[in-house]
Structure formats: structure tokens, C-alpha cells
Amino acid sequence: MATLPERARVVVIGAGIAGNSVVYHLAELGWTDIVQIDKGPLPNPGGSTGHASNFIFLVDHNRENSEITHDSLRQYKEMGVFTQSGGYEVARTEERMEELRRRMSSAKAWGVDASMVTPAEVAERVPFLDPDVIIGGLWQEGVGVVDSLRAGTIMRDAAVAKGAVTTVPNVEVHSMEVVEGRIRALETSAGRIEAEHVVIATGIWSYALARMAGAEIPLTPAVHQMISVGPLPALAEKPGEISFPIIRDMDTLCYERQHGSDMEVGSYAHRAILHDVEEIPSIEQAKLSPTEMPFTEEDFDPSSSRPSNSCPNCSATRGPRSATPSTACSRSPLTGMPSSARPPRSRACGPARPSGSRRAPAPVGPSPR
């Protein structure tokens, strides 16, 4: 196991999908003397990368987001960690159909393989969906799921193989030494390390890490609830992790995603469940992982028990449940863009903040000087 060196050109804090992408792309750009640390073990240090649903939809009204998503998808395919399933965004109202038509226009503009479909066409590919509760949908051929833990491991190992990166797990940052607005060193559980540059890629912990440097990264830990239902006979008959298209039920703010013989039903319709970063349990205290919280049934049930649920079999059967928190970026509600910008009042500390796995592997970082 590698030990923490006394100095490095770059220290990347975090070994989830964002941190692993940063070290990989810096190595590809020719950077060396990079140290990557994480307070958790590898390959799953305990952040949201280890339990995210990891599906990727390709249509976005923003061209930059669309291009970043497609570049990430290209890299996932090259790594062999992407499974294409196709996906539907379905509408229950004419107002939602109008929005899907606008998304179809964006798909054409950005070259995404998509088409408008009828309820019958949706039910043909997704027999467990009730076509009577929708009036149409948008089909995207290239939708699928990614193994983000495997992708992160491949990227990290590639950077290590180049001799560019030393990765040291189980190292927690306790404080930062800041001189004239620049981070000069980190005090960690494994000792002190000096650095020219520091990248914070720690997801829900980014706010707390940035405050050590006197900077602000406006991220708030927010719980996204889901249930896993099954086994369902219609799913058990199919091989592999995912054989049916993913459904995004836009009007109910829910999604339905096959996971082997189970159906994962996620909801964004519940109340905003926010946490102070200091409330997130440690790895030792957490029952599952620090970012997997106790399920609160009263929050999820209004989503799953409504009569018009598009997957009636899913609401009729209850399996194991969990509530998984994800990071919500309060600074970019207008664009929804990922960010690698330097935060205010800091000249040597930058966040790596993707909008989920779909934009994580896209190139991040400057060229070597």
C-alpha cells in the first residue's frame, strides 16, 4: 500500500467517479507528481458513486451539456462499462408532450437518435407499463447504464500505470494551510503534504473541505429516495442486469429502472430532504455507507401509491428499501452545468463537480505548463 508523500504538484481529494476522472485526464494531458487521497477504502470509498442508479439520458436543451454527456458516453463505451438499454421519457399531459416535442427539437439539433412515440409503442418495449396513463413519449436509442465503480477503477489504474499518480486510500483531511489565498499544504490523518494545486472532488463533503481553505463550494447534501421491488416475473425471465428500457415518468418525477429481476423506482417528488454535511455519518458509524440514509416511508409513499403509477406491479409489491443521498448544486439552478471553476477567494483550490455519472469522465483540468 502506498504511503503519503511529503509533497506533490497536485493533490486530488476524492476517489469517486469525479476524482478518478480528474487524475486520469491530468495524466493524459501530461501532468505528473499527482497524489490522490480519499478517507474511504478502494474501490468504493463510501460516496454516491457506489450506489447511484448510473443511467444516462442523452437529450439536453443545453448544447454544452449534451456534448459533455456524449463525450462521457464515448469514454464509457471504450472502457467496456456501458450497457445500452434505450429509454423513454413519458408524458401524462399535453403540456408535458409539448415539452417532449421541444426536447425532440434539441435532439435533432445535437444529433441525438430520438423519436416521438405513442403509448402503444412504449408498451410494446415495456410490457409492464400501463399505456392508459400516458399520452405519448420520447424514445432515445442510446440510453443505458454505466458501471461507475468499474469505470473509476479503470481510470485510476490507467493514471497509476503511467507513473503519474500515487493513490492513498483511508486518508482524511483534517485542515489546510493557506498562505496569501493559496493552499500550501494539507494536514491529514497520514501526515502533512505540501501541494501546488488542490482539487476537491468529494461530492457531498466538498462544502466542508472548501471551508477549510476559506472558500465556498455551494453544495448541499440532498436525499433522493428509491425502492427496490421484486423479484418481478417479467424481469426475471430476461438475462443480465438490464434488458428493458429505462422509464422517466416526467409528470410524477419518478423513474423506473430494471436491476436484474428487481425494479428500482426512484422519486424526486418527495419533500426536499436536506442534510448538514456535519450530519453525514463516518464510515465507522454508517450501517451501509455514509451516503446511504435510513428510508422514510412517509416521504416516498405518495409517489409509489398513487393510482396512476405507470408501473402498477411496482406499487403493488414491496421489497427492500433504501434512501440514497446525492449532491445538489445550489449555485447553478439556471444551467444545471457541472463545474471545475475555481471558487471565490481561492487561487489554488478547484472543485470537480459533475452532474452525476453522465458527465463525470469528460476532460477536466488545464494542460501542463
Cα–Cα separations (whole angstroms), residue 237 to 87, 128, 242, 311, 355: 20, 13, 11, 17, 34
- What is the C-alpha separation between 146 and 242, in angstroms, rounded? 11
Region of residue 253 (phi > 0: left; psi between -120 and 50: alpha; otherwise: beta): left
Cα separation, 342 vs 231, whole angstroms: 46
Name the one residue in this structure whose C-alpha cell is 456524449: 70
Domain ranges of the chain: 7-48+148-218+332-359, 55-146+220-329
Q: What is the pLDDT of residues 14-68, one digit of tens each?
A: 999 999 999 999 999 999 999 999 999 999 888 888 777 789 999 999 888 899 9
CB atoms inside a 10 Å sphere around CB 74: 13
**H or E segment and range at residue 151:** helix 148-161
pLDDT of residue 314: 52
Confidence check: pLDDT of 328 > 50: no
Q: What DSSP string describes 34-88?
A: EEEEESS-SS--SSGGGT---EE----SSHHHHHHHHHHHHHHHHHT-EEE--EE
CATH among 3.30.160.110, 3.40.50.300, 3.90.1150.10, 3.50.50.60 for 7-48+148-218+332-359:
3.50.50.60
Whole-number mean pLDDT of the chain? 82
pLDDT per residue as tens digits for the range 240-296: 889 999 999 989 988 999 888 888 888 888 787 787 887 777 777 777 777 777 777
Which CATH architecture group holds 55-146+220-329?
2-Layer Sandwich (3.30)
Residue (of 225, 266, 262) closest to 242 by Cα position: 262
